[in-house]
Amino acid sequence: MPQTISTAEPFFLPGDASKPACLLIHGFTGTPKEMRWMGDYLNAQGHTCLGIRLTGHATRPKDMVRSRWTDWTASVEDGYNLLRGVTDRIFLIGLSMGGVLSLLMSTRLEVRGVVAMSTPYELPVHVPAWEMRIFSWFKTYLRKERGKPDEGWFDKEAWKDHISYPLNPVRSAAELQLMLGRMRSALPKIQVPVLLIHSKDDKYVPLDSMPRIYERLNASGREMFWVTGSGHVVTRDAARQQVFEAAAAFIQKVENKSV
């Protein structure tokens, strides 16, 4: 029996080799499925798209507890190296923690640009990672929300089909805390164009995250794009078409400038 949750598998969509490729990176406790519709859209524009599965995700929560933030960066690097077999013109596109990884890894890999969506600047709970690790010995998981399961979603049908772990592993949150610190340090070093996308109706990541990230970027071609009528998972919620179009237009703009 497969370990990966059905419909949450990674995906590869071959496109036009003359166009840049897109590496799509899902979020914390999420799966490649939350990036699939975006991959389908970009692939229809001719882009080769690879939606990776981060270590410990899309299987069972205990697998995530065992993974570390360096395993997640290694997952991105693996995907990048696979796409290099198609083209050396690659964009990193990430949602939430995937946005954190996209920004961080753009300083370690040769990429054309970054699209970071619903990306946190820091965790809302200001607890050091070492304290979170200790706490994880006593409390392995925390509930994600206290309201209705579909709270924060505008497209209720899309929510019904969404797959993610129902709980947040505390040990993994400590790893995210560490990785966020690395991202914040990396922001001034990013040399490629960056498009930041965030929903004004995001109930999960604070709205000041996008402008705070934007302020620390020194990259030329940095942009912010706000959407409304969408929750945190902008790649699947009601405003997804706006998000897809903005990302495609950004990629085209970057490519046009490089010609």
| pLDDT average, residue stretch 149-169 | 89
Who's near 36: CB < 8 A, 6+ residues apart?
Answer: 11, 51
DSSP for residue 195: E
| pLDDT average, residue stretch 8-29 | 96
Question: What dihedral do alpha carbons 45, 47, 50, 51 form, nearest 10°?
Answer: -30
pTM: 0.95
Which residue reads 């969404």 in tokens? Answer: 162
- In sequence order, what are the beta bridge partners of 115? 93, 195
CB 49 within 8 A of CB 14: no
| Domain boundaries defined on the chain | 11-258
Percent of the chain whose predicted confidence (pLDDT) is above 70 = 98
Which residue reads 């497969």 in tokens? Answer: 2
Q: Describe the chain by its helix, strand, coil percentages, rounded to 5.
A: 40, 15, 45
d(CA 202, CA 190): 26
Q: What is the pLDDT of residues 34-50, one digit of tens each?
A: 999 999 999 999 999 99
The per-residue pLDDT for 120 is 97
d(CA 112, CA 255): 8
| CATH superfamily of domain region 11-258 | Alpha/Beta hydrolase fold, catalytic domain (3.40.50.1820)
Position 239 pLDDT exceeds 90 = yes
- Calculate the average pLDDT of the chain: 94
Percent of the chain whose predicted confidence (pLDDT) is above 90 = 83
Position 247 pLDDT exceeds 90 = yes
